[in-house]
Amino acid sequence: MSERELGRKLDRCLADGVIKLGTGLGLGIVFSVLFFKRHTWPISLGSGAGLGMAYSNCQNDLRSHYLLHRNQKVER
């Protein structure tokens, strides 16, 4: 993987992390207010789940360079 490609992937990872953390936080707040009497744990759960999703996406993105994809022809 070239350094430029790695840099782009890491930038994407960071942006995705911010988005997923914010989304998890927001959904956690919504669920906390509506169903769980404003407890903190749904907010923590949502934020943690968002961060975990971002981590998983980043991991797949960085690994995809070394995997053979279905749309690539296998040369004999």
The least CB distance from residue 76 to other proteins, in Å, is: 32
Which residues are at the interface with other proteins (CB under 8 A)?
6-7, 10-16, 18-20, 23, 26-27, 30-31, 34-35, 53-54, 57-58, 61
CA proximity to 38, closest of 28, 53, 48: 28
Secondary structure E strands in 9-74: none
Positive or negative: CA dihedral 18, 21, 23, 25: negative
The least CB distance from residue 12 to other proteins, in Å, is: 5
- Our CB check for other proteins shows the closer of 29 and 44 to be 29
